[in-house]
A = this chain, B = another copy of it.
Amino acid sequence: MPRAATTSDVFNAVAEPRRREILTLLVVKELPVGEIVAILRLDQPSVSKHLRVLRDVGLVQARRNGRHKLYRTNAQAIQPLHEWAGTFERYWTHQLNRIKERAEATMRAREEDQNPRNSPRNPSPRIPSKEKQ
């Protein structure tokens, strides 16, 4: 089986950079296709096709206005993506804390090096690791 269709869900739809640009554009203000074409410097059929994908997954909505068709981002459709990514938040903050703590420990050690108080430590061995990935 090939890759999942981009029309299948929000995750696939936003995997395409141009579609992300379109969403960013249309969340501020609804725009006709022609404006999007002009602003993003894309071909009109290309924009229409991207908009089609975005509509199919509910990421944009459209309304007619005379000859124009005005599109705008349906921000709510992005929420599931935000929530999925948010699931990992506690883990990355945890990881960042560990890094911070280690950095602070290093700083303390360095100060000790410059102003040694009592217990001298042996220097870190600095053995280059030869592990293969």
Interface positions of A (Cβ within 8 A of B): 3-4, 6, 11-12, 14-17, 20, 23-24, 27, 62, 64, 73-76, 78-79, 81-82, 84-89, 91-92, 94-96, 131-133
The 8 Å CB contact of A27, one of B15, B75, B88, is B88
Identical chains bound together, number: 2
CB of B85 within 8 A of CB of A78, answer yes
Across the interface, do A20 and B84 meet the contact criterion of CB distance under 8 Å? yes
How many whole Å from A30's CB to the nearest CB in chain B? 12
A20 to B27, Cβ gap below 8 A? no
Determine the chain B residues whose CB is within 8 A of the CB of A132 once the complex forms: 64
The residue in chain B whose Cβ has the minimal distance to the Cβ of A79 is: B92
